[in-house]
Structure 1
Amino acid sequence: MFKKAPCLFGSAVVLGLLLAAAGILLLIGIPIDGIVNRQVIGQDFLGYTRDENGTEHPNKMTESWLKPPYAMQLNIWMFNVTNVDGILKRHEKPNLKEIGPFVFNEIQEKVYHRFASNDTRVFYKNKKLYFFNQTASCATCHLDLKVTIPNIVFQKLVDAAEMTIFGIRVKFAIESVLKMVTEAPYITVKVSEALFDGYEDPTIDLVCKNKILSFLCESNSLQRRVGFFYGQNGTTDGSWEVDTGVPSPFKIGHLYTWNNLTEMPEGTWDTRYARMINGTDGQLFSPMLKREERLTIFVPAICRSIQMEYSKDVSVSGVPSWRYVPPADLYDPARPENQAFCNKAGVPRYFENKTIQLENCLPAGLIDLSRCQSGSPRVYLSNPHFYNSPMEVWHAVSGLSVPSPANDLTFVDLEPTAGVPTQAKRIMQINVGMVKGSLSITENTTNVIVPVLWMNETADFDQGTRDQLIAIFNAKHYSFIGGVTSLSLGLISWLAVFVVIIIYSRQTDEEEYSRLVLEEEEPQAPESEDSTLTI
């Protein structure tokens, strides 16, 4: 048997080497990753496929893109101002009572799409519909519930009273109008009116009929119907032109134009850099994500692009995903690149401490939407409960919950190989800047930023998408198991050869030792008696 040992040892060594090499390759994912990645890249585009009859049909990605199967929901919490008299007469800060959630089921679909430039680009419009879900809402939440909120129209009158041209006449006219209404700085409306339906402020009719103030209506400074999401139910958010992923899947979703614009109008932000329309549309992401690379997303609601950065690994219904969140300093005016999102024309001063509020800027964590919205209302966007803003902003009102990243942070979870969203949560708070001005009704107030509502818009992937992503995960998981098994068998083969060699060597040494001992113990033949010494 041992005569054949060198051949057996050589075969075992070669087998072990092959198993170990295969195990290492499987562990680092080269064979499986290559196959999986090629399959993902080959399917990661918007377009059509042909059946056996030559008829074109949207591929699976395009079908999901046209009518996203995700479960989407919009949750809204209203802030009811409970102490209007105290604010106007006793210098009290606004006291807020949070009511909600008011839950709306959300459906999205592409109502228009057109491929262009040899199918490398697609134009589309995305329609959103919201349906109130009474069952999922809080027990006392119904759309007829009345809440007291800051009056945006009144703030336009405060600004008009500060006009230098004919200022006295305008101010006198405004004071006269305000004596004819029961509500002014704050107004009580139904939740449905504050959100999607909009409401008509009785002050507007009086202003428009006043000869001195009618210019406010003629210049569209005052909106006839006011609602924080008025006109956004059953409508689109503009026309998008994005890359289809052909020929390069790594460019899928890249945004070329929005409403045929490559940058926002000049008056939106103070520099061209800030007005750039870039990144993606927030619906399509490149495959083969890298943790160190940030995601750039254009958001029409705030007229700018934002960035998201990798935060941590998470598991969503068993699918390994990467969580991306906005950088903590995204809305920090102390950063030079954020200065352009301030307003060189001036911003009301809410805090005298310039470390809290820089000149012509809002405090950190807030973004001014006044130049982004029709009529330029003094509306500011922030994280809920002023998360990532100075605590002085939070202390300026009472009744707010303590901010926390678990409840108040926007995120999107992506499966990194396919770049497919597995879960998303868009959270924001809408606030109104209340300025004292020079009107008599506000003489006991101070400038303050008052929250109106905060919202949590969620999207969770469907079972079909989960099954596809699980298949990707399983391929790589089984590759890992196979790699461990193969590498282990290879090492065991080498170990077995090593053990056999040691045993064989010991046996050979013992046999050689025994032979030598036997040779030493063998008796010598006696010399002859008549032998003589010859010289």
Structure 2
Amino acid sequence: MLKKAPCLFGSAIILGLLLAAAGVLLLIGIPIDRIVNRQVIDQDFLGYTRDENGTEVPNAMTKSWLKPLYAMQLNIWMFNVTNVDGILKRHEKPNLHEIGPFVFDEVQEKVYHRFADNDTRVFYKNQKLYHFNKNASCPTCHLDMKVTIPNIVFQKLIDAADVTIFGVRIKFAIESVLKMVSEAPYITVKVSDALFDGYEDPIIDIVCKNKILQFLCETNSLQRRVGFFYGQNGTTDGIYEVDAGVPSPSKIGHLYTWNNMTEMPEGTWDTKYARMINGTDGQLFSPMLKREDRLTIFVPQICRSIQMEYTKDVAVNGVPSWRYAPPLDLYDPALPQNRAFCNKNGMPRYFDNTTVQIENCLPAGLIDLSRCQAGNPRVYLSNPHFYNSPMELWHSVTGLSVPTASNDLTVVDIEPTAGVPTQAKRIMQINVGMVKGSLSVTENTTNVVVPVLWMNETAYFDQGTRDQLINIFNAKHYSFIGGVISLSLGLIAWLAVFVVIIVYSRQSDEEEYGRLVLEDEDEEPAQDENAVLA
């Protein structure tokens, strides 16, 4: 048995080494990562496959892309202005009463798609449908409820009052028109009309019939029907041309053109850089994400691309994900790269303090949509409750809740291996810039940015997508567990060998010591006998 010990020890050491090596490899994920990543990459593209009958059909990813099964909702809170008389007569700040949520169930579907360039690119239109969900809305919320909001049409008259025609300012004609209507700077409308249905301002008909003012209608400065989401229910937001992920999965979703344009029209922003159409369409993301990389997304509704950066690890219904949010510097006009989104032709001053509002720019956190919308209305986008904007904006009105990151920040959670969104929240606030102007009705007011509504459009992944992502997680999780077990067994094998060697060495030493003692005892009588004989 002892003769076989070296062979057994050698075998145990080799086995321990192999187990430890396998454990290390499993812990750092090399074998399983390669297998999982290869499977993800092989399936991560838009295109076709063949069924059991040999018929060409959209692959699984394309099917879910054409008609997403995500649970989607649009929640809207309206801001009702409660003190119009105080604003117009007593220099009061606008007081806002938040009402909501008005909940709309959302369904998206690609109503058109066409592959091009050997199926490496795809053109598509994305349709959105919104259905009011009374049961999910607040108990008192209904679409016929009336709210008082800033009047966008009136702001166009404010601007026109300083226009001169044939040497005569048209302010007098506008003042005459305003005497014929009961509402002007603020208007009371139904919620449904303020959102998707649109409303007809009574001022418009009077203005269009006035010989002096009718040019405003002829030049489309005044929109016949006004609604903050008017024309966006049951319609598409343009034609996208994106990369299909073939032959490069890392380029999937990359946006090449929108409405056949590679950049926005020249009048949209002041520089070519700002007008670039780049990034992705916001629906598809490349697999194998890296934390240090920012995501660039083109948003047609605001006529520009935005960036999202990694903020932290999260778990969405058990699926480990990375959370992305807009960086703090995204809408800061103090940075040179953001000056292109200001307006070199001038911007109304809402604050005299240049640390709050830079010349020709809006305060930080606000996006000017005026050049992005028909009729150039003075509409600005921001985070709800002016989160991440100067506190002067929040203090310029009353009634706003205190902003918080958990409630007022757009985020998207993505499973990084597959690049699949597990949850997305598009959160924003729509505001109207109210300018005092030179009309008599606004002589007691000041320039102010007034919130109209804020919204939270949320999408959660479906159970089928969750199951697929859980399989990816489980493969890596079980790989980790297997690595721990394998490494532990390897270390135990080594430890066992060392223990046996130590025990064996001690036994050998004891046997050697015992042998020497016995030899000494055997020799002593002989010495005594010799001594006697001597």
Task: Indicate the residue corresponding to 1:327 in structure 2.
Answer: 327
1:19-58 aligned within 5 A: 19-58=19-58
Q: Secondary structure at the match of 1:524?
A: helix
Matched, 1:161 2:158: no
* Residue 265 of structure 1: aligned partner: 265
Q: Distance in 2 between matches of 1:85 and 1:240?
A: 47
- Give the corresponding residue for 2:473: 473
Name stretches of at least 5 consecutive residues in structure 1 with no aligned partner.
none
Shift of 1:524: 2.5
> What is the aligned partner in structure 2 of residue 524 from structure 1?
526
Could you tell me which amino acid in structure 2 is paired with residue 524 of structure 1? Answer: A
1:184 equivalenced with 2:184 (yes/no): yes
CA contact (8 A) 1:49 1:57 kept: yes
Shift of 1:517: 1.5
Q: What is the TM-score normalised by the length of structure 2? A: 0.98
8 A Cα contact 1:169 1:212, kept in partner: no
> Hey, what does 1:254 align to over in structure 2?
254
How much identity, in percent, do the aligned residues show?
85
Whether 1:149 aligns to 2:149 is yes
Structure 2 residue aligned with 1:174? 174
State the shift of 1:138 in Å: 0.4
Query: 1:52 Cα shift?
Result: 3.2
- Match of 2:3, SS state, is helix
Q: Secondary structure at the match of 2:175?
A: helix
Residue identity in the other structure for 2:313: D
Q: For residues 321-340 of structure 1, what are the alpha-carbon distances to aligned partners after superposition, in whole Å with 9 as ceiling and x for unaligned?
A: 00000001211101110000
**Partners of 2:323 and 2:413 within 8 A in 1:** yes
Give the structure 1 partner of residue 205 of structure 2.
Answer: 205
Distance 1:24 1:527 in 2: 69
1:528: how far off? 10
Question: 1:70 is matched with which residue?
Answer: 70
Moved more, 328-337 or 119-128: 328-337
Where 1:371 maps in the other structure, the secondary structure is helix
Deviation at 1:520, TM superposition (A): 2.0
The code of the aligned residue for 1:234 comes to G
Q: What is the correspondence of 1:328-343 to structure 2 with a 5 Å cutoff? A: 328-343=328-343
Q: 1:507 maps to which residue?
A: 507
CA distance in 2, matches of 1:312, 1:469: 19
Distance in 1, matches of 2:375 and 2:186, equals 19
Within 5 Å, give how 1:113-128 maps onto structure 2: 113-128=113-128
Q: Which amino acid aligns with 1:47?
A: G
Q: Greater shift after overlay, 519-528 or 378-387?
A: 519-528
CA distance in 2, matches of 1:240, 1:529: 118
Distance (Å, rounded) in 2 between the aligned partners of 1:336 and 1:22: 52
Query: Deviation at 1:314?
Result: 0.4
Report the CA distance between 1:167 and its aligned residue.
Answer: 7.0
Tell me how far 1:527 sits from its aligned partner.
4.8
Aligned-residue offset at 1:163? 2.0
For this pair of structures, how many residues does the alignment match? 531
* RMSD between superposed Cα atoms in Å: 1.2
Q: Normalising to structure 1: TM-score of the pair?
A: 0.98
Q: Deviations over 1:394-422 (max 9, x none)?
A: 00000000000010000000001000000
| Inter-partner Cα distance in structure 2 for 1:193 and 1:50 | 48
Deviation at 1:53, TM superposition (A): 2.6
Whole-angstrom distance in 1 between the partners of 2:372 and 2:333: 18
Q: Give how far 1:168 is off.
A: 4.4
Alignment of 1:257-296 (within 5 A): 257-296=257-296
Q: Deviations over 1:205-227 (max 9, x none)?
A: 01000000000000000000000
Per-residue deviation, 1:166:
4.9
SS of the residue corresponding to residue 228 of structure 2 reads coil
Mark the runs of 5 or more structure 2 residues left unpaired by the alignment. Answer: none
Contact 2:101 2:138 in 1 (8 A): yes
Answer whether contact 1:26 1:483 (CA < 8 A) is retained.
yes
| Whole-angstrom CA distance in 2 between matches of 1:399 and 1:166 | 45
CA distance in 2, matches of 1:394, 1:218: 38
Q: Deviations over 1:155-208 (max 9, x none)?
A: 000000122455744100000000000000000000000000000001000100
- Distance in 2 of aligned mates of 1:345 and 1:51: 59
Alignment of 1:88-107 (within 5 A): 88-107=88-107
One-letter amino acid of the counterpart of residue 214, structure 2: S
TM-superposed deviation, 1:2? 1.3
Give the AA of the match of 2:117.
S
Rounded Cα–Cα distance in structure 2 between residues aligned with 1:152 and 1:471? 51
Q: Secondary structure at the match of 2:63?
A: helix
What is the CA–CA distance in structure 2 between the aligned matches of 1:71 and 1:286, rounded to whole Å? 22
Cα distance in 2 for partners of 1:150, 1:129 equals 27
Deviation per CA, 1:28-67: give whole Å up to 9, x if none: 0011111110000000000000123321011000000000
Q: Is the 8 A contact 2:242 2:252 kept in 1?
A: yes
Cα distance in 1 between the residues matched to 2:325 and 2:389: 16
In the alignment, is the contact (CA less than 8 A) between 1:324 and 1:412 conserved in 2?
yes
- Hey, what does 1:482 align to over in structure 2? 482
* Runs (4+) off by over 3 Å: 164-169, 525-531
- Does the C-alpha gap of structure 1 residues 504 and 434 become closer, same or farther in structure 2, counting only changes over 3 Å? same
**Aligned-partner SS, 1:347:** coil
Q: How far 1:530 moved relative to its partner?
A: 10
Letter in 2 for 1:445: T
Q: Per-residue displacement from partner, 1:47-89 (whole Å, max 9, x unpaired)?
A: 0001233210110000000000000000000000000000000
Counterpart-to-counterpart distance in 2, 1:52 and 1:322: 37
The aligned amino acid for 1:470 is I
1:236 aligns with 2:230: no
